[in-house]
Amino acid sequence: MSEASVRSDDPVNPTDNIDFTRAQVSPAFADLRKKHRSFVFPLAAAFLIWYLLYVVLAIYAPGFMATPVVGNVNIGIILGLLQFATTFAITGWYVAFANKTLDPRAAALRDEMESGVYAAERKG
């Protein structure tokens, strides 16, 4: 493949003869896109809200954050550590989802495209 250009109308591009518009409207792709979006969008919104909630609590409710829980460990420290815990948990959850749900569907579509299921009619 040519190194100089990213444009896919390169003569040597292996995806030249795929009809992406047909692939895009195929039920298999619609299913993959729906699975992907309905997982990542809500999760992204949730972690953003949870982070902002934490920041707003820290900024506007320092007294609440200072409430001791165990020894010198207060609610603020615990909520901060929970941000780490949820970040790790969301990472693990997404990876499990992607491995189980997204990867097999993406691979199946890729195989179909490579074997000419969505071949374009030769233009000119």
Contact set with other proteins (CB under 8 A)? 1-8, 13-15, 18, 20-21, 23-24, 29, 32-33, 36-37, 40, 43-44, 47-48, 51-52, 54-56, 58-60, 62-63, 65-66, 70-74, 76-77, 80-81, 83-84, 87-88, 90-91, 94-95, 98, 102-103, 106, 109-110, 113-114
For other proteins, the closer CB: 63 or 124: 63
Residue 31 to residue 26: CA distance in whole angstroms: 9
Spell out the residues 6+ positions from residue 26 whose beta carbon is closer than 8 angstroms to its own.
109, 118
For other proteins, the closer CB: 27 or 63: 63
- Answer whether 50's CB lies under 8 Å from 90's CB: no
Shortest spacing between CB 105 and other proteins, in angstroms: 9
Shortest spacing between CB 124 and other proteins, in angstroms: 15
- Answer whether 21's CB lies under 8 Å from 13's CB: no
15 closest CA partner among 124, 122, 113, 121: 113
The percent helix, strand, coil of the chain (3-state, each to 5) is 70, 5, 25
Shortest spacing between CB 16 and other proteins, in angstroms: 9
Shortest spacing between CB 121 and other proteins, in angstroms: 13
